[in-house]
Structure 1
Amino acid sequence: MFYSNAHTHSTWCDGKDTLEDMAQAAIDLGFTDLGFTCHSPALFDPSCLGVQDERAYQAAVKKVQQELANKLTISLGLEWDYYSADPIDGYDYTVGSVHYFPPRQGVFRSVDESPESLMQTLNEWYQGDKILLVKDYYDTVVKHIHQNHSKIVGHFDLITKFNEQQPWLDEESSEYQAIALQALNDVIDIIQTYDGMVEVNTGAISRNWRTSPYPNPFLLKQLKERECPIIITSDSHETTTLTCHFHETKELLKQLGFTETMQLKDGIFQSVSFD
């Protein structure tokens, strides 16, 4: 059974539906819990500015918490991008994500805005060197988790978002896999010091870019080998996608040997068996 989704957006950032509508959808699904995780402020990105008033966002979530207290346990989270300023106090947890390449002369380039933007960055900033671009991305992911200790590691291999529909990177190459695996092992080493977890994120499936979740199965196998806690999330931006591909993802994980995942239940993260 799925009790919750811990990576959820709303109209406070780039989501399509309000906090209230997302919460009602969660209730209709039989959830016990819902974790809101608005994007952190990113004034340097006009296409996704993130939450502009964190205090107001927190107050709005707490209002819905109180109104629905007898029906749904709501947690207050933030999807914290590495290049955003430190969040204000008051969050229950953060999802640590990297959506941008290291800036150059104050200019930021998005990792996941569009295939065209990604290819422009590859050619203009990295002179077509895919491995250098990949290293920059994964180095930033490791830095983020090392410095900020987010409870959940967000869409670990986001760099591959467009690769299924518009291939540009050989995810089966030993060179790429060595870089990704080293970064993942570094992340696991870090989160095991503070009870963190890695999300298995279905968000790109609902947006029709992928047919399988992040991370890639070779990375999921390493998570299993390292006995790293994982959590299935939908990275939902609208009411209709709160459980997108959850059952299929559960079956994939079972095939890889997983027997449980973390879930947000009764206001805390706890292990839930697949049985």
Structure 2
Amino acid sequence: MTDAPPPPYRWFDLQVERTERISPSLVRVTFGGDRLGDMVTGGRDQRFKLFLPRPGQDAPVLPDDLGPGWYAQWRTQDPAVRAVMRSYTVRELRREPDELDVDFVQHGEHGQHGEHGEHGKGTGHSGPASHWSRTARPGDRVAILGPVAEDNGGVDFQPPAGTDWVLVTADESALPAAAGILSWLPAGTPAKVWIEVAHPGDVQDLPTAADADITWLIRGNAGDRPVLDAVRSAALPSGNPYAWIAGESGTIRALRRHLVGDRGFDRRAVTFTGYWRHGATEEDLLAELG
């Protein structure tokens, strides 16, 4: 009998090394840990699970069994006690020293939308992860379930063979993923990129070797969707496209309908992810899954 391959993810106990307000809407938290050198990333929009302590806790309360059944156990824990779980993107993973950067959207202070991750909070009130990031101090403890193999199933940006150019859209919640994609794209890759943010101060340099046309869009009101209007009115390149679109679920659904229905994109060439939804917390969306 052949031994099963080791799982591509592992649990890590980390602590905060420092925090930095990098823009009006984003706080960057840098983590360190004794075993962080074992974590790797597939690049692009590499995601992982972050577990935060509840107020008054020194460390996140995790399931007793951290094996394959951890999620079912987490679901049965007392919601007032169990760790806050969120999905985040690797902004940067460095060596010597081993450090992990994660960017947190600060929607609560400006009436903005959800926490960065697969799902967030869209009510304009600060969610637990945003609040935690603003108050985090060096030494504060967290846990993550992070990749230890580059091929780990946590990367969604997967252009098929024969792709001639790529289209990328993002808001603040998906900005770290878009930055990772741009830094990963091979030199000279044609790319049309639209990034929607709340403040002019959120615009940042996104290094890339791709032939990328990057347009920054400043949102006027919380309900505006300038990225949708911009893509609808854009002249797009010829050839076989691949689209990666991420952000608020309603906007992403409308963008996908436009690309497939109006622009003729192959459905299989559109990767779409709702990182958050107006009016819903990640707990709400997890509950909907049953």
Q: TM-score, normalised by structure 2?
A: 0.30
Which of the two has greater helix per residue? 1
Q: TM-score, normalised by structure 1?
A: 0.31
Which of the two has greater strand per residue? 2
